[in-house]
C-alpha cells in the first residue's frame, strides 16, 4: 500500500528538494547546443549587436563586408547587373528592417543573410518568370573574386595565351549550360560550387534536408556534364 504522493504520477513528497535552474545555467546550456563559432562569426555577431545599438559606422562596415558576395549571388541568378544591384539593395533594406530577428543560436549570419537573398530571388523569379543565368558571371568583378569558381575548377587556366583562351571558352560554356538547369538545381549548384557553402548551410538556406541538397547538387552536376558533353560534340 502506497502512503502519501505517488511518484509514478509525478508527485513527490514535500520534503524532497526541488532542483533550481538559474538563468545563467539555462543560457550556458543553450550555448552548449551550438556548434563552436569561428572568430570571424563572433566578430560578425559583435558587428550586428553594434548595428542594433544604433552604430551607423558598424552598419557601413556590415554592408561593406557583405555587399560583394550578395551582389554576386544576385548577379549569377539573374544575369542582369541592373537587376542584381536592385535586388542587392532590397536585400540590405530587408536586412536593416529585420536585423533584430537574427539569432546566432540558430545559425551563422552568413547563412541568415543568404536566406534573405534567396527568398527575394525566389520572389523575383515568380514576378518576372525569369529563367536565365548570366552569360558572363565574372564580368562585373574585373576578373577578381573571393575564390575559385566552379568554372575555374573545371577550367584550370594557365598563363599561356592559348590555354587562357581555352579556359575562358570553357567558362562560357559552363555559364551557358547553367541557364538550362531548373531553378532548384541551379541554386543548389551555385551555392555549393560557386559560393563554397557547405551542405548544412545550404540546407538551412533552402529549407530542405541535407540529403535533398546533396541530391540536387549531384543531379545538377550531372545535367551540366550532359549539357557540356552535348555542346562539345556539336562543336567537334
Q: What Å distances lie between residue 82 and 107, 127, 184, 188, CA to CA?
A: 31, 16, 23, 23
Among candidate residues 218, 217, 211, the one with its CA nearest the CA of residue 191: 217
We find that the CATH architecture of domain 140-236 is Orthogonal Bundle (1.10)
Our CA angle for 163, 169, 170, nearest 5°, is 90
Grid coordinates given for 105: 543560436
Non-local CB neighbours of 86 within 8 Å, separated by 6+ positions = none
Output the pLDDT for position 165: 61
Give φ, ψ of 7 to 5 degrees: -65, -20
Domain ranges of the chain: 37-130, 140-236
Tell me the pTM: 0.59
Asked whether the beta carbons of 189 and 171 are under 8 A apart, the reply is no
Among candidate residues 59, 68, 125, the one with its CA nearest the CA of residue 93: 59
| pLDDT tens by residue, 22-79 | 445 444 444 444 456 788 888 899 999 999 999 999 999 999 999 999 998 888 887 7
Report which DSSP code applies to 8. Answer: G
Output the pLDDT for position 62: 95
Q: At what angle do helices 109-128 and 56-78 cross, to 10 degrees?
A: 50
Output the pLDDT for position 11: 44
Same topology, domains 37-130 and 140-236? Answer is no
| pLDDT tens by residue, 72-91 | 888 888 778 899 899 999 99
Asked whether the beta carbons of 65 and 56 are under 8 A apart, the reply is no
> Which residue has 584550370 as its cell numbers?
156
Report which DSSP code applies to 1. Answer: -
Output the pLDDT for position 229: 82
Per-block mean pLDDT, blocks of 10 residues, the chain (236 long): 45 44 47 64 91 93 94 83 92 93 89 92 74 40 46 52 64 76 87 88 92 94 86 51
Among candidate residues 120, 113, 125, 111, the one with its CA nearest the CA of residue 90: 120
The CATH code of the domain at 37-130 is 1.10.1740.10
DSSP 140-166: GGTT--SS--HHHHHS---SSHHHHHH
Amino acid at each position: 500500500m502506497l502512503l502519501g504522493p505517488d511518484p509514478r504520477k509525478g508527485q513527490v513528497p514535500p520534503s524532497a528538494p526541488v532542483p533550481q535552474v538559474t538563468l545563467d545555467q539555462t543560457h550556458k546550456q543553450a550555448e552548449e547546443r551550438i556548434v563552436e563559432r569561428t572568430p570571424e562569426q563572433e566578430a560578425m555577431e559583435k558587428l550586428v549587436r553594434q548595428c542594433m545599438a544604433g552604430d551607423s559606422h558598424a552598419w557601413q562596415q556590415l554592408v561593406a563586408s557583405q555587399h560583394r558576395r550578395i551582389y554576386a549571388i544576385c548577379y549569377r541568378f539573374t544575369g542582369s547587373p541592373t537587376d542584381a544591384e536592385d535586388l542587392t539593395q532590397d536585400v540590405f533594406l530587408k536586412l536593416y528592417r529585420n536585423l533584430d530577428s537574427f539569432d546566432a543560436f540558430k545559425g551563422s549570419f552568413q547563412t541568415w543573410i543568404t536566406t534573405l537573398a534567396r527568398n527575394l530571388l525566389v520572389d523575383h523569379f515568380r514576378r518576372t518568370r525569369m529563367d536565365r543565368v548570366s552569360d558572363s558571371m565574372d564580368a562585373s568583378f574585373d576578373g577578381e573574386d573571393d575564390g575559385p569558381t566552379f568554372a575555374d575548377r573545371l577550367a584550370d587556366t594557365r598563363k599561356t595565351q592559348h590555354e587562357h583562351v581555352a579556359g575562358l571558352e570553357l567558362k562560357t560554356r559552363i555559364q551557358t549550360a547553367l541557364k538550362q538547369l531548373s531553378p532548384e538545381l541551379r541554386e543548389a549548384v551555385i551555392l555549393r560550387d560557386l559560393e563554397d557553402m557547405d551542405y548544412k548551410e545550404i540546407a538551412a538556406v533552402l529549407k530542405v534536408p541535407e540529403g535533398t541538397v546533396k541530391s540536387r547538387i549531384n543531379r545538377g552536376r550531372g545535367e551540366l556534364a550532359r549539357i557540356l558533353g552535348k555542346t562539345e560534340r556539336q562543336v567537334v
